[in-house]
Structure 1
Amino acid sequence: MTSPTIQKDLVNCCAVETTRAIINEIGDSLFSILVDKARDNSVKEQMAVVLRFVDKSGQANECFLGMSHVTDTCAQSLKDAIDAMFSTHGLSISNLRGQDYDRASNMSGEFNGLKHLILRENPHAMYVHCFAHQLQLAIVGASCKHVNAFRTSYQANILEKLNTGELIGGSDQFQEMSLACPGDTRWGSHLLTVTCFINMFNAIIDVIENISEDGVHSDQKSSALRQMNNMQDFEFVFSLHFMFEILAITDNISQALQKKDQDIQNAMRLLNLCKYALQNLRENGCDTLFSRVIEFCVDRHILVPNMEDIVVVKGRPRCVAQQVTYFHRFYVDLYCHVIDSILQELNDRFPETTIELFTCISCLSPKDLFAAFDKKKLLRLAKFYRLDFNSEELLLLRSQLDKFLLFVRMDETFFNLNSISCVAQKSVKTRSSCYFPLVYRLLTLALILPVATASVERVFSTMNLIKSDLHNKMGDNWLNDNLVIYMEKAIFKKLENEIRHCFHILHSVKRSITSPDRSLVSFNKADQLERCTNHSASSFSFNIITTAQEISKYPTRVQHLKRESMFTDRPSDASNLRCFQSRLASGTQFRTAFPFATSLIKSIRYY
């Protein structure tokens, strides 16, 4: 087990069996894909693919399929990599019913994006923009775009100075804590940064004041003094607390959207809750916010302007300046404008077709004994998937929907359910999925629609742990095998016997290939050959398996070549193996009969 080759073969067997278990669980059922790309520590573009499907128990699952290195990130290259991965694992793009990416042009472009290329081949693969990403763009993007004072003050210079060697002159209170830099893809990091900034406001001012007095360069001193004056301004403090209020509303929703078991109906309910909370903040939260900001400023000796005084808008000549009060400035121009912009962003990010689709899916909600159940909208939902419901099944679906509604309102098993996923699981448990197969198909289609790409983001986080700076020469196959095992460890732990048997077969095949005199004996067992046929989840294992099939298919040809004295030497050491390989390369008859065996033996190492 200390040999690197043995270790890689063992990890490869674990990854092959784990992936095979996932593929077997999917079978011929429908699924969706979640795709994203990122660079690893060796600056190579890696594309991760996650599958979302409904298992035999009615539970929606998101499983990591694999990672592929792409030479460039254009849409066609990503599509080719997905096709190759599907071909390797025996998946059909015709069974694809959903796709979830970010809003990058190469992923979701209307004309040449990956979304369009897949829809061109399969028009039933509904595209859903990541809900968590939409929330991030709408909340953080709109807020930061309008709250210029806050953004320029704490993002541009403050965080940079506080995380450099200039922190030596800070107070003891500050040295026990640190500011968290907001990340582009870590939604909760913005709330953490704002919270720390509010709690450490006094310490930050002390540090910047020390820099302004003891700085080495005059530019450093003037910059620190300018930033300190900006921070000790009522508008900056108001913007800081206002940002906290907005992010506090969306943080729990953002975390809930990134759960694996989330479905479209719950996601829409959470987004509607977010809209309601923001609207309530606009109508009823202003007085509380003003009171908290004024109290914060008084405690820190920051000047509080009289809200009835006139303020001149900066950037305009005084003779034509707009005469507005401070209250109008903070309430109308900042407070209401930012909230309205966020609400408008949330409403604009769903196209008309997507809204109609989500509205139809919401009719499957089990809340209040299926109070939202609407047969017309559910029939409309079925028409979105004409490949899964023909004209005859649409007629049968009408009667099944009526019977299903009566059934769930009579059976106590379906009382007090909260999500569509619970309905699907109860349907399987009570075997009503067999009584109402078309309704269960609708439930499955609703569940496999992806909600967020959080599962793919977790893959990239794990990738950075595995392929670290100290392991930046790790190969793509080795990285993929480790990721599959780590991400799907719950499945991996159940496959001990299968992995052991796969590893035994793999090495028996290798020994047989390096010792051709024993090849017929090794591959004469029907159970080994049958076992080998089931392993096609990786290219290396696939070559070995195909080699086993070839040698077992042509035993008379091997005997004939042996009689021609092509294999007179037995490769008992490395020199004999090289001699064997050279003879193999010159044997036209053997290369024709055994193309996979030829390529594999040329590349195999003797150990």
Structure 2
Amino acid sequence: MALVLRFVDKDGLIQERFFDMRCVTSTTSLSLKEAVCDILSRHNLDVSNLRGQGYDGASNIRGEWNGLQALFMKDCPYAYYIHCFAHRLQLALVTASREVKPIHKFFEKLTFIVNAVCSSPKRHDESQAAQLKENEYLLEIEEIVPGKGANQIGTVKRATDTRWGSHFSSICSLIRMYEATCFVLKKIAKEATNYSTSGNADSAYNYLKSFDFIFILHLMKEIMGITDVLCQALQLQAQDVVNAMFLVRNTKTLIQQLREDGWDKLLANVRYFCVRHAIEIPDLDDLHSTTRFGRSRLEENQVTIEHYFRVEIFFTTIDKQLQELNSRFSEEAMDLLTLSCALTPKDSYKAFDVDTICTLVDKYYPMDFNDQEKIHLCYQLEQFIVDARKEPCLKNLSTIQELCSCLVATERNKIYFLIDRLLRLIMTLPVSTATTERSFSAMKIIKTRLRNKMGSGFLNDTMTVYIEREISASISSESVIDDFKLVGSRNDLF
């Protein structure tokens, strides 16, 4: 478990520093909390001074009720949890949807189909030739129109677990190249000399031509199309927190609308696709069976095919998406970030609002400002906004960090000390941090198979020197030698 501290230094700059790495034998939330508290206490850091916490996607850490997040909130109610914007949200949403068994099966088959079609240059050429032939036919019947850059020949994209939006791109490419993919799989099933390859290709072809696959294919396209805009926005290096929060709310609203009003449209699109590609459409009023041989479910729990697709797949998958979004972006965190944007100096302090900032302090930082300071803060804000819009050094700023640094540089942090304190509290919120992920990547470089017996203490020290190169570069060899000499002399005294 890697621990990274996010703080504001004396110059008003945000710092993220790798602090420690602990090998935890138990991954329960309580054990993880004890490990973090032990690390902090050894360096005389009080847990009550925490003002923000952020984790990766592990449920035992970020759980709202029983996770590490909740345990720290009990001891320190002002250590607000903010979802790490750098975490791959699209992959987390895919993982959430795969908790529905038919969706998990769909992605497994999707991966196999793409790998089979793109496994060799020969298959790639066959796929493109089939796509070219299909485009010529569609142009002949005037279903598509010619034009510059239109109807280009492409390839089916792989869905990888390390890239943003790759699953969405893979689904869209398969829909676009559906006939070409069917042609290649059918050819592999007939011509493959290996019985395993032939059988797998035949199985994939039959699944590709099933109503189940087509329905989930279009369902995931709709869901991931809605969430893709948010996922792409969150990976930007320069975060616009206000617009990001609007996107989160809009995404939740659109997914909820899809749940309430999207069934008929989705079913119509699936039927049109099935008719176009000669796929058998089942009678939705028939009873759903657990196998293709017609063996129905238990007599008391028989459901129709429409109920199965609508309730057990459509509703359940969308509910998983909403649950994941609500877990990562709680209303409290969204409200906190939205209110904090009132301090943004962009566009000559256009968003700066005294009442909103005072509400932020009253609601989220009541222990960091006493009653008298809250009164003084209101007047400091009024004085500051007049000063900021006149002074050139304060006028052309765009981020909260630039504002905090400017106050320090001009020594106005001594005048507007309450504003400076509030800025530092807001800046500690972990909005977009990837330092922890880089720490784990560094561990793979340092602790290799040849050095797998490296102790935890030595590993942690080595990683600190490797990751925090800026600090280690400022330490001269002579000072290290002098320190070792002092250690020797102290031992002699004892």
TM-score normalised by L of structure 1: 0.59
Equivalent in the alignment of 1:49: 3
Maintained 8 Å contact 1:159/1:181: yes
Equivalent in the alignment of 1:159: 111
Matched, 1:118 2:72: yes
Alignment-mate amino acid for residue 360 of structure 2 = L
Q: 1:260 to 1:471 in 2, by over 3 A?
A: farther
Equivalent in the alignment of 2:354: 375
Cα distance in 1 for partners of 2:359, 2:333 equals 13
Equivalent in the alignment of 2:137: none
Maintained 8 Å contact 2:168/2:221: yes
Count of aligned residue pairs for this structure pair: 454
Matched, 1:99 2:53: yes
Q: Aligned to 1:228, what secondary structure does the other structure show?
A: helix
Maintained 8 Å contact 2:259/2:315: yes
CA-to-aligned-CA distance 1:105-144 (integer Å, 9 cap, x gap): 5424567643344344434322334456594487435655
Matched, 1:81 2:81: no
State which of 455, 474, 483 in structure 1 corresponds to 2:435. Answer: 455
Maintained 8 Å contact 1:312/1:321: no
Q: 1:227 to 1:57 in 2, by over 3 A?
A: same
Equivalent in the alignment of 1:408: 388
Which consecutive residues of structure 1, in runs of 5 or more, have no partner in the other structure? 1-46, 510-522, 524-543, 555-593, 595-607
Alignment-mate amino acid for residue 405 of structure 1 = I
Q: Aligned to 2:18, what secondary structure does the other structure show?
A: strand
Matched, 1:231 2:208: yes
Q: 1:500 to 1:70 in 2, by over 3 A?
A: same
Maintained 8 Å contact 1:265/1:419: no
Equivalent in the alignment of 1:358: 337
Maintained 8 Å contact 1:259/1:454: no
Cα distance in 2 for partners of 1:464, 1:449 equals 28
CA-to-aligned-CA distance 1:516-560 (integer Å, 9 cap, x gap): xxxxxxx5xxxxxxxxxxxxxxxxxxxx4xx64454xx4xxxxxx
Alignment-mate amino acid for residue 93 of structure 1 = V
Q: Aligned to 2:12, what secondary structure does the other structure show?
A: coil
Q: Aligned to 1:434, what secondary structure does the other structure show?
A: coil
Q: 1:492 to 1:282 in 2, by over 3 A?
A: farther
Q: Aligned to 1:433, what secondary structure does the other structure show?
A: coil
Cα distance in 2 for partners of 1:470, 1:252 equals 44
Query: Structure 2 matches for 1:497-516, cutoff 5 A?
Result: 498-507=475-484, 509=485
For the pair shown, the structure with the greater C-alpha radius of gyration is: 1
Matched, 1:420 2:397: no
State which of 106, 119, 123 in structure 2 corresponds to 1:171. Answer: 123
Equivalent in the alignment of 1:315: 288
Equivalent in the alignment of 2:149: none
Q: 1:140 to 1:172 in 2, by over 3 A?
A: closer
Alignment-mate amino acid for residue 65 of structure 1 = F
Q: Aligned to 1:69, what secondary structure does the other structure show?
A: coil
Cα distance in 1 for partners of 2:177, 2:249 equals 34
Compute the displacement of 1:480 (Å): 2.8
Q: Aligned to 2:16, what secondary structure does the other structure show?
A: strand
Equivalent in the alignment of 1:302: 277
Q: 1:75 to 1:201 in 2, by over 3 A?
A: same
Compute the displacement of 1:102 (Å): 4.3
Compute the displacement of 1:407 (Å): 2.8
Q: 1:449 to 1:86 in 2, by over 3 A?
A: same
Equivalent in the alignment of 1:576: none
Q: Aligned to 1:64, what secondary structure does the other structure show?
A: strand
CA-to-aligned-CA distance 1:380-405 (integer Å, 9 cap, x gap): 33243344212221221121122223
State which of 452, 462, 467 in structure 2 corresponds to 1:487. Answer: 467
Compute the displacement of 1:286 (Å): 11
TM-score normalised by L of structure 2: 0.70
Equivalent in the alignment of 2:444: 464
Cα distance in 1 for partners of 2:319, 2:38 equals 45
Alignment identity in percent? 37
Q: 1:119 to 1:338 in 2, by over 3 A?
A: closer
Maintained 8 Å contact 1:397/1:439: yes
Compute the displacement of 1:466 (Å): 3.6
Maintained 8 Å contact 1:188/1:251: yes
CA-to-aligned-CA distance 1:25-53 (integer Å, 9 cap, x gap): xxxxxxxxxxxxxxxxxxxxxx1011111
CA-to-aligned-CA distance 1:566-605 (integer Å, 9 cap, x gap): xxxxxxxxxxxxxxxxxxxxxxxxxxxx3xxxxxxxxxxx
Query: Structure 2 matches for 1:542-553, cutoff 5 A?
Result: 544=487, 548-549=489-490, 551=492
Cα distance in 2 for partners of 1:366, 1:276 equals 30
Compute the displacement of 1:448 (Å): 0.7
Q: Aligned to 1:432, what secondary structure does the other structure show?
A: coil
Compute the displacement of 1:449 (Å): 0.9
Moved more, 105-114 or 372-381: 105-114
Cα distance in 2 for partners of 1:503, 1:110 equals 45
Matched, 1:442 2:417: no
Alignment-mate amino acid for residue 29 of structure 2 = A
Maintained 8 Å contact 1:297/1:303: yes
Cα distance in 2 for partners of 1:340, 1:212 equals 38
Cα distance in 2 for partners of 1:114, 1:340 equals 24
Cα distance in 2 for partners of 1:417, 1:269 equals 23
Maintained 8 Å contact 1:363/1:373: yes
Q: 1:138 to 1:74 in 2, by over 3 A?
A: closer
Query: Structure 2 matches for 1:313-352, cutoff 5 A?
Result: 315=288, 342=321, 346-347=325-326, 350-351=329-330
Maintained 8 Å contact 1:79/1:114: yes
Cα distance in 2 for partners of 1:59, 1:283 equals 46
Cα distance in 2 for partners of 1:489, 1:288 equals 56
Equivalent in the alignment of 1:271: 248
